Amino acid sequence: MKLLLIAPQSTFHQYWDLFIMMCALYNGLTLPIEIAFEPEWMASTSIRYLNTLIDIAFLVDIIIVFRTTITGNDGEENVD
């Protein structure tokens, strides 16, 4: 099953981490506003779909993190 492993130095993993950081920043800015003030624009269907997609992205991130290899102290990639 080593075929499905992802190297942490891969381009995909770096872009994925950047995407997840942007999703976390979005959540960090909008969640307090949504909870405290309940603005009408946050109740729109498009915002609800966006929030659902971001939640799904966080779920996929958990799976990707578990499929990511680690680099040992000797610099060798550990795939076990």
Q: In this predicted structure, which of 10-14, 40-44, 73-77 has the lowest mean pLDDT? A: 73-77
Q: Do 69 and 78 touch, CB atoms closer than 8 A?
A: yes
Task: Map tokens 């102290």 to a residue.
Answer: 73
d(CA 34, CA 55): 16
d(CA 73, CA 30): 39
Rounded to two decimals, the pTM is 0.88
Mean pLDDT of all residues belonging to the chain: 94
d(CA 58, CA 64): 10
pLDDT digits (tens, 9 = 90+) for 26-44: 999 999 999 999 999 999 9
- Where are the domains positioned within the chain? 11-69
pLDDT for 78 equals: 87
